[in-house]
Amino acid sequence: MKRNLLVYLKKYWLFAVIAASFMIGEVLADLYQPGMMADIVDRGILGIGNSGTPDPSYVASSGMRMILVVLLGGTCGVLCGAFTNYFGQNFGNEVRKACFERIMHFSFEQTDDFTSGSLITRITSDVTQVQNLVMQFTRGLVRCSMFLIGGSIALISLDLTFSRIVMIAVPLIFLEVGFVIWKTNPLFRLLQRRLDRMNTVMEEDISGIRVVRAFVQENREAERFHQANYEMADTQFRVLVMISWMRPVMNIILNLSIVALIRLGAVRVAEGAVQPGVLMAAITYITQILNGLMMLAMIFQTLSRGFTSAGRLSEVLESMPKIKDGKKEAPARSGTVEFDHVSFCYPGYETPVLQDISLKVASGETLAVIGTTGSGKSSLLNLIPRFYDTVKGRVLVDGMDVRDYKLAELRSRIAPVLQKSELFSGTIRRNIALSRPGASEEEIVSAARTAMADEFIVRQPDGYDTQVSEGGSSLSGGQKQRIAIARGLLKQAEILLLDDATSALDLSTEARLQDEMNRNYSGMTRIIVAQRIASVKRADRIAVLDHGRLVACDCHEKLMETCEVYRDIYDSQLKSAEVIE
């Protein structure tokens, strides 16, 4: 197992040792019983050593001792199971939490690289496989090893000639197990990748079910899922076919070994070298040995799959966040933002999205960013809270490079309202208060009123306690945007980023919202990305982007006079119509 996973076992090592100890007790009880049965047959039933006279009292007393041994072994088995499950479940819980916490600190780039479907598979299926690995390793490996070693010693102690059968059968089983593991091991990683793919398709289709239905693409998406599901099932079938060979072959070896032992034992009994009870004990011991090896084969299969999953989990745990904390002391809060010769391209791409952007936003200023589709507007905003880092140049917040901030401190100064209004299952109140969990009811309502959200929230059946369905599907696009804006305002950060956050609002509602923000949040620096001229017209300044370059930055009136790109956007949207003031 990977070293970074063993760390989570250390906390529970004592429970693992206790579980293994109880397993030893259970196996010792199992190994002790065949000898007792041999004495019962030879002495109590056949009367060997007592002139051939059976001894019922010895059978009864030995039977009681066997019952006590069985009860003791059973108790050890139950306690072993309890301690194994305790440390196994807690180990899995620790690994799952560690993976989730690491994922929460991934940059957007890392999340895209892994894909959401793969991350879900790793944190569910792969954790379960590793959990099964450590549990089987603790219980199964101890049990199998003791049956192999203890059973072999007990069998040889009965009659040395019986060891010949073990010496032939054991290597045959190991050869078969090795062959199956060699064939199936590469398939386990492929199987998990196929499961990643199936989860990704399922996650995409469930989250986008409205789009699928709107375009009547249910059959197409069902076919896409069927294909991913078929590929996973086909790989799993290939694995199971290989594994299915193990038990029949092992059963053949086991039965042939028993037949050989009976034949050899019959000769030894006829010679007077061993008694019938000893032969019965020998059959039990060789059955225990070979059953232990069969169980060991299944454990090796679990170990092989578990190690594959452990490697996938290690990839998550060893992936250090690419966006790391800076080390400098944060300056006083003022709400200024500056882009100093900033260039940027997305990881894995060479085409620049932003080129040599230089722009300064003063404290309390409202800056709008407009441009044609793909001009880099949202990318520019993503650089401020360090969702991505620049390729060249610097982004400064309150006069300090964002890369020198601790991430929590930097993001505490910024309230982003993203292009997609993300809402979570829970109440409307909880969704608004997500930015500031300790906010009072009055502050929540005040933010909602400024965002023009209170007017529809109070009409809901339970007001602010109305439940929001997954992803906010129970609300309209405009309602979701207003809740998201209220969440950003409630944070009371110095800088508010609005990334096309009013696109679903009508112009009248948007104008009222801007008036309310000017009235109640006049000291907050606002950077607004928008597609509509009407959304940016009243900003203090408007930055115009064209193919990733800043071509102008001024007020609406000046841009209409001096900037051709801005006039083209204006004309294409409004032509000769009047803009709502």
**pLDDT band, residue 581 (cuts 50/70/90):** very low
What is the phi/psi pair of residue 124, to 5°?
Answer: -115, -75
**pLDDT band, residue 68 (cuts 50/70/90):** very high
Mean pLDDT for the stretch of residues 543-570: 91
CATH number of the structural domain spanning residue 297: 1.20.1560.10
Mean pLDDT for the stretch of residues 21-32: 89
pTM for this predicted structure: 0.72
Q: Is residue 73 part of a domain?
A: yes
Residue 578 above 60 pLDDT? no
In terms of domains, do 280 and 381 share one?
A: no
Mean pLDDT for the stretch of residues 284-310: 78
Transcribe 118-167 into DSSP letters: HHHHIIIIIHHHHHHHHHHHHHHHHHHHHHHHHHHHHHHHH-GGGHHHHH
- Choose between 402 and 472: higher pLDDT: 402
As a whole number of Å, the end-to-end CA separation of the chain is: 66
pLDDT confidence of residue 22 = 92
Mean pLDDT for the stretch of residues 40-48: 75
pLDDT confidence of residue 559 = 92
Dmax (CA) for the chain in angstroms is: 125
What is the phi/psi pair of residue 511, to 5°?
Answer: -65, -40
In terms of domains, do 271 and 360 share one?
A: no
Q: Which of 108-112, 213-217, 309-313, 563-567 is least confident?
A: 213-217
Q: Is residue 265 part of a domain?
A: yes
pLDDT confidence of residue 114 = 85
In terms of domains, do 192 and 139 share one?
A: yes
pLDDT confidence of residue 48 = 74
Residue 178 above 70 pLDDT? yes
pLDDT confidence of residue 256 = 86
In terms of domains, do 56 and 137 share one?
A: yes
**pLDDT band, residue 366 (cuts 50/70/90):** very high
In terms of domains, do 254 and 349 share one?
A: no
Transcribe 363-429 into DSSP letters: TT-EEEEEESTTSSHHHHHHTTTTSS--SEEEEEETTEEGGGS-HHHHHHTEEEE-SS----SEEHH
Q: Which domain holds residue 357?
A: 330-413+521-581
Q: Is residue 531 part of a domain?
A: yes
Angstrom distance (rounded) from CA 262 to CA 268: 10
Q: Please write the tens of the pLDDT for every residue from 241-293.
A: 877 777 788 778 878 888 888 888 788 777 777 777 787 888 888 888 877 77
In terms of domains, do 349 and 219 share one?
A: no
DSSP-assigned beta bridge partners for residue 537: none
Residue 202 above 70 pLDDT? yes
Residue 562 above 50 pLDDT? yes
Q: Please write the tens of the pLDDT for every residue from 514-555.
A: 888 988 888 899 999 988 888 888 899 999 999 899 999 999
pLDDT confidence of residue 144 = 83
Contact 380, 358 (CB under 8 A): no
In terms of domains, do 335 and 267 share one?
A: no
Contact 517, 492 (CB under 8 A): no
Please name the residues in contact with 191: beta carbons below 8 A apart, sequence gap of 6 or more. Answer: 232, 235, 236, 239
In terms of domains, do 42 and 107 share one?
A: yes
329: which DSSP letter? P
pLDDT confidence of residue 490 = 93
Residues making up the chain, counted from first to last: 581
Residue 51 above 70 pLDDT? no
pLDDT confidence of residue 2 = 58
